[in-house]
Amino acid sequence: MATIEDVAKLAGLSRSTVSRVINNHPYVTDRKKQLVYKAMKELEYYPNSSAQRLRKQRTDTIAVLVPRLTNPFFPFLIEGMEAIAVKNNLQLLICQTQQDKAKELNFLNLLKTKQVDGLIFTSIENEWATIASYQEGGPVLLCNEYKSEAKIPIIRLDQIKGSYIGARYLIEKGHKRIAYCGGMKTELGADRQKGFMNALREHNLEISENWIFRDLHSIECGKKLLREILAMEIRPTAVFSGSDEVGAGIIKEAKSLGLRIPDDIAVLGFDDQPIAELMEPALTTIRQPIKDMGKKTMEVMVSMLANEIKNNEKQVFELPIELIIRESV
C-alpha cells in the first residue's frame, strides 16, 4: 500500500509539500499540485480522511433534520443540498425525526457532542427556546420551516404570497366555495392559511369551518379528504391542497368514483413535485423551487462554517414562488 512518502518520492517533492496539497493549503503552485495529483493517481494513494478530519478537529459532516422521507419534497430538498455539499467536500447525515420532539433533541446532541459540524432544520418540533441553547455547538440554520424569534440564518419562501395567488386563481375561475387543506400548526402553516384567507376576504367570501382540514400529508389523506367532502350537505367546489401528494390523492379518488376534474371538483396543489405533472389530469399547483432552496441552504451553511455568516445573527434568504397552471382547475 502506497504511503505519503512514496507520493513525495515519485513527485520529486518534499513530504510537507505533498501534505499541504492534500490538505488544500494555500500558496502551493499549480505545477506542484499537478505533480502530486499525478503521483497519487499512479500509486492509487488515497489520503486517510479520518486522520485529516481529526487534525482539523472537524467531521466535515452536516446533519439534516427532516420529518419524514416518504414525502418527496424532502428528498428533492436534500438532493439540492448534496450538490453543494459534494463541491465543498462535505457529507450529509440525514436524520428523520418522524415529528417526534425527543428524537429531534437526540439529533441536536450530535452537534453538542461535536459529531457533526453543523445542523439544518427542515422542520421544527420543539419550541425555539428549547433549541436555541444548542447553537453553541456549531452553525444551525432553518430551511423551509421558520421561526420568527430564531436569531439564525433562514432560507424560506413567501408562504403568504404562495397561498394567496393560489386561492385568487381559484376565485378567478369562478369558485366561491373553497376548502382549505393545511399542514401542521406551525408558523409556516399559519402564514399559508393567512394568504389563503386574505384572498377570500378581498372577494368577500367566507369559508365554513367544516371546509378547513389540517395535518394531511399523503395520497391516502387526499382520498379520505374527498370522501369527507362528498358526504357534506353543502360541498366546496374546489380544494386548495397543502401538498401535491394530497392533491394527487383527491384526483385519484375522484376518478375512481367517476367524478370529473375540474368540472365536478377543482384541485390546486402546492410544491410542484413530479407527481403534479404526471397526474391525469395534471395538477395545477404552486411551485416551490425545492432543489434551489436546498442549494442555497448548503451555500449558506458553507459560509457559516467559514465564519463569513454569523451563527447567532438573523438573516433571511427568500426564494421566488409561482403558480403553475395545468388542468385540475
Q: What is the per-residue pLDDT for 20?
A: 83
Distance separating alpha carbons of residues 307 and 62, to the nearest angstrom: 16
- Neighbour-count burial of 93, counting CB atoms closer than 10 A to its CB (0-12 exposed, 13-18 middle, 19+ buried): middle
Note the pLDDT tens digit of each residue in 113-148.
888 999 999 999 999 999 998 888 899 999 998 888
Note the pLDDT tens digit of each residue in 61-106.
999 999 988 888 999 999 999 999 999 999 999 999 998 999 999 9
- Name the grid cell of 256: 375512481
Residue 306 sits in which domain range?
58-157+290-319
**Whether residue 202 is found in the same domain as residue 252:** yes
Report the CATH number that the domain containing residue 203 is assigned in CATH.
Answer: 3.40.50.2300
In this prediction the pTM is 0.78
What does the pLDDT profile of the chain (329 residues) look like in tens digits?
788 889 999 999 998 888 888 877 767 888 998 999 899 888 888 776 555 554 556 789 999 999 988 888 999 999 999 999 999 999 999 999 998 999 999 999 999 888 899 999 999 999 999 999 888 889 999 999 888 899 999 999 999 999 999 999 999 999 999 999 986 678 888 999 999 999 999 999 988 889 999 888 889 999 999 999 999 999 999 999 989 999 999 999 999 999 999 999 999 999 999 999 999 999 999 999 999 999 999 999 999 999 999 888 899 999 999 999 999 99
Q: Does 53 fall in a domain?
A: no
Q: What is the per-residue pLDDT for 304?
A: 94
Q: Does 302 fall in a domain?
A: yes
Total domains in the fold of the chain: 3
Distance separating alpha carbons of residues 309 and 300, to the nearest angstrom: 7
**Whether residue 180 is found in the same domain as residue 256:** yes
Q: Does 325 fall in a domain?
A: no
- Name the grid cell of 120: 439544518
Distance separating alpha carbons of residues 328 and 285, to the nearest angstrom: 9
Percent of the chain whose pLDDT exceeds 70: 96
Identify which of 293, 324, 268, 303 has the alpha carbon closest to the alpha carbon of residue 146.
293
Q: Does 112 fall in a domain?
A: yes
Q: Rounded to the nearest 10 degrees, how much is the dihedral formed by the CA atoms of 99, 112, 136, 186? A: 0
**Whether residue 72 is found in the same domain as residue 143:** yes
Q: What is the per-residue pLDDT for 316?
A: 94
Q: How many Cα atoms are found within 13 Å in the side-chain-facing hemisphere of 138? A: 25
